[in-house]
A and B are shown apart, each in its own frame.
Chain A
Amino acid sequence: MKDINNNLKIYKYYYTSNCEFSKNNQCIREGGCLCSSVSTMYAYMKSVLPNGYEDYSFHDFDGFINEKRVLDTDRTREVRERIWEFCYGDTWNSIGNKSLLKKTELDKLSVIDKRFSRGESLVIYGNSLAINKNESNYSKISTGKTLIASIIMNQVIRHRLYRSNNASSYDWVLYPMLVSLLIDYNSNDGNSIDYIQTWNDTDWLVVDDIMPPDTNMSAKQHALVKNRLDNFFTHRAEKMLPSILVFQFDIDKFDIAQEYGYAISQIISSKNTYIIKV
């Protein structure tokens, strides 16, 4: 789990320096400490979300990345509607000009707490890889999947401010690292044990950069990886902990159970899982 201490210190200093209720390193405000609440929230955003993705909300998904259009307008609208539904439920049609809503007004519509209590996972997928016609290698193309995951996680972490929130732990891991640590897990490597046990029980976990099946892997290693992934995600599913899986390819074109194991395949096909295709 990410240690937010350094970022927490920075934000706490920022807020308490201007706070009339901060006296002798303590808060004397009746009704609770505002500085600590917002500092902790921002510290988690800064520590957990990838660099540059800390402060994105629904309004930021507009089909453009770095001022370049990556999705056409129709597709963008469809994806925005899906993001909205995951975060704010079935209110897409009842809210007019969504761009006028402030973040806290959006929070009022949020159904993230319900998603968490029901352990509803999210799968984001779509092509990110293309063969350049002039060369035979892959180029990675941005389509906004990581951005979508960041928007969702931003909303999730914002919920720390609300009394109704029940989640307290968040993490973001790249799929290659997860696999590497899962392989090392049973070899008594203390580091991998710590990480895997933590991620096993993290309330909201993003697994990003799930690449297409590696055809160079041996059958034995492939079986091992599938087995470890099954154990990992089955544990999370049993505890009803939501996972956000970001696939960098079109999962409809692959046998996910065959390539990644039964547990991930179950997450994708579960009626409790929300799918966003980009």
Chain B
Amino acid sequence: MDHSVEEIKFQEELLNIVLNDSSKINNLLNEKVGPNNFTPDLRPIFYALFHSNTKGVALTERSFSDFIEESYNNGNYKKWIGLNHPIVQAKASQRSKFSRIFLVNADANDLPVLIKKIKDNRLKRNCIKCVESFNINQKSNFKESLRKLSHGIDLALSENEYKEIISWCPIDEIGSEWYDKLINKIDNPEEKLHCSISEIDDAMVIGFKEGTLTLFVADVGGFKSTMMLNIALNIFKKTGESVLFCALEMPRDMVLQKIVARETGISFNKLENPIMLTEIDRVRIKDELKKWEDLSQKFIILDNEERVSVSTIRSQIEKYKALFSPKVVVVDYIANLKSDDHYKNLNESSQYGQMCKDLRQLGRKEGFSVVSAVQLGRDAIKRLRNQKEGKQTVGSDDLRGSHDYSADADNIFVMVPHPSEPDSKIQLFCVKTRYGSKTFNGKNSVLLDVYPDISKIVSNQDAKIVWDNSSTDKKLQSLSEHMPTEEDLGALNGVSKINNNIGLSGDEIFGDISSSDKDSTDEWSDDIDYL
């Protein structure tokens, strides 16, 4: 159903008010007025107004023209308009629209009235569409059509106000629709969202699918935040999807510092003491920051001065929904959330359970996967480290604070620093995966490499000999033939330089290499009788 002339007039007046006072865009967002409330050829102006508002400036004709060109080049323009104009025509058409709106003589005091009219018009349009669809389809399947009509009207109403939506899905009726989607996947395979840590991806099978909750469990200082940040950044950089990182554990600048450390390879220590940065380091940092500006997907850090609840996160996501749709939302971490009013009187473990449920449901509604973390009890950590071969278990009472975590999470991974290499290796166990396998190629756990000084976690990269005569095999065989001697290690750069570079004292480097008391140098003597 097309927008009527009167509707278009209201929309233009509304846009005129916002053009003259860019702060009014927040009124629109708070009232859930988004681009879909406007006719397609006015949507670019809406998006441009929002974009300039985020930059803190008013929208001018020049900035609008630049915005249209950029949107055309990145494909957004075509998505908004629904037509494939050549760029010259697109720019001319939008310039004309902009001028027209600029000249509209709207009164800012009419803003609430205009918002209401636009929302009501959209509601009416959507409901009429549902009824038209019913009229067409009810002849072939009356019951199904009636069900869809009711559902469609509920959905239309919920866009005006928050309302729980439930669907009634008899399997005999939805089976054929599911089958069509299944067959469609053969020709159009679904792109799974992978985090590029193959051990995690393989265990999860379906990827970081919308509506799922994945938890990482570890002791204090067990790399929980580092793991979540690595997953978020891998998805952001390698899949081109947007990510929201709710930094409840660390301030924004610390998160940013970790990101820069990981992406540039410059240690956290150097970034914390910038006097140590070389000119090359500074160039590397600037180059990395520049790369982020050129990306179409966004990595947003939600920074908070006070504790936030799931509702706060929800409202922020809904507020910016039109312009930012994360595929993954990281909450660092659940125990840092504040309870919402409707369950704050429950006991602590039940509160966490409700948070998990709400986050999952939010993910289902808004189309993202949730990643978060939980602390593990010490006894459980020791037990996990010592149990072997499929006998490792985590019960609900092992996750500190909630019995509900195990039930509500789709995937639970436990991380334990490797006992012999705690600074460079993590043992990863999968204790729950709703759709995949809890083992890693038959093994109970896998090792991941961790670089704490640059906040990086990757799959274990140690080369192995596989007897295929490859260069890796040959090189490893060559290196393993002779163990470096003390002289070799000392001669590399002098002991003091090794000392400075790796932070160990001379005694720590070489230890006491006096002969052991084993196999003593007693003389072989004929005077000795054996027992």
Q: Would you give the 0/1 interface string for B503-527, flagging 1 where the beta carbon is closer than 8 Å to chain A? A: 1100011011111101111111001
- Inter-subunit contact B530/A25 (CB<8 Å): no
Q: How would residues 395 to 423 of chain B score, 1 for a CB under 8 Å from any chain A CB and 0 otherwise?
A: 00000000000000000000000011111
Contact A2 B420, CB 8 Å, known A17-B492, A147-B519: yes
Complex contact A40–B528 (CB within 8 A) = no
Does B480 lie within 8 Å of A131, measured CB to CB? no
B531 touches A42 (CB 8 A): no
- Chain B 475-516 near chain A by CB (<8 Å), digits 1 or 0: 111011101100011001100001001111000110111111
A131 to B514, CA, bound (A): 27
Report B46 CB to chain A, min CB distance, Å.
Answer: 43
A212 to B519, CA, bound (A): 17
Report if A192 contacts B (CB, 8 A).
Answer: no
A51 adjacent to chain B (CB < 8 Å): yes
- A42 in contact with B388 given A52-B516, A131-B531 (CB within 8 Å): no
A108 to B476, CA, bound (A): 13
Contact of B483 among A13, A54, A146 (CB under 8 A): A54
Q: Within 8 Å of chain B (Cβ to Cβ): is A44?
A: yes
**Nearest CB of A to B115, in Å:** 52
Complex: chain B residue closest to A132, CB-CB: B528
Q: Is the CB of B509 within 8 A of A34?
A: no
- CB closest residue in chain B, given A197: B386
B531→A37 contact, CB < 8 A: no
Cβ of B382 within 8 Å of any chain A Cβ, yes or no, is yes
Total A-B pairs, Cβ < 8 A = 191
A34 touches B504 (CB 8 A): no
Interface string of A196-207 (1 = CB under 8 A from B): 011011000000
Tell me whether B140 is interfacial, beta carbon within 8 Å. Answer: no
Q: Say yes or no for A181: interface residue by CB 8 A criterion.
A: no
Asked if B179 is at the interface (CB within 8 A of a chain A CB), the reply is: no
The CA of A163 and the CA of B462, in the complex, are separated in Å by 10
Point out the residue from A23, A70, A131 that lies within 8 Å of B524, measured CB to CB.
A70
Residue pair B480, A162 in contact (C-beta under 8 Å): no
Contact status of A34 and B463, CB under 8 A, knowing A13-B502, A26-B456: yes
> Which partner residue on chain B sits nearest A165 by CB separation?
B464
The secondary structure that dominates the A interface is mixed
Contacts of A142 in B (CB 8 A): 518-522
CB of B201 within 8 A of chain A?
A: no
Which residues from chain A contact B524 at a C-beta distance below 8 Å?
68-70, 141
Given contacts A10-B502, A249-B531, contact A144 B421 (CB under 8 A): no
Tell me the A194-253 residues at the B interface (CB within 8 Å): 194, 197-198, 200-201, 208-209, 212, 239, 249-250, 253
Which residues in A have their C-beta under 8 angstroms from that of B421?
Answer: 4-5, 8, 40
Contact B463 A32 (CB under 8 A): yes
Report yes or no: A8 in contact with B481, Cβ–Cβ below 8 A: no
Contact: B265 with A26, CB < 8 Å? yes
Q: Is the CB of A25 within 8 A of B464?
A: no
Contact in complex: B465, A162 (CB < 8 Å): yes
Q: Are B462 and A33 in contact, CB atoms less than 8 angstroms apart?
A: yes
Name A34-63 residues within 8 Å CB distance of B.
Answer: 34, 36-38, 40-42, 44-45, 47, 50-55
Apart from A9-B502, A55-B483, A130-B530: 18 A-B pairs, beta carbons within 8 A: A5-B423, A8-B424, A23-B265, A29-B463, A31-B463, A32-B462, A32-B464, A38-B479, A42-B484, A66-B521, A103-B481, A129-B531, A142-B518, A163-B466, A168-B447, A198-B386, A198-B419, A208-B518
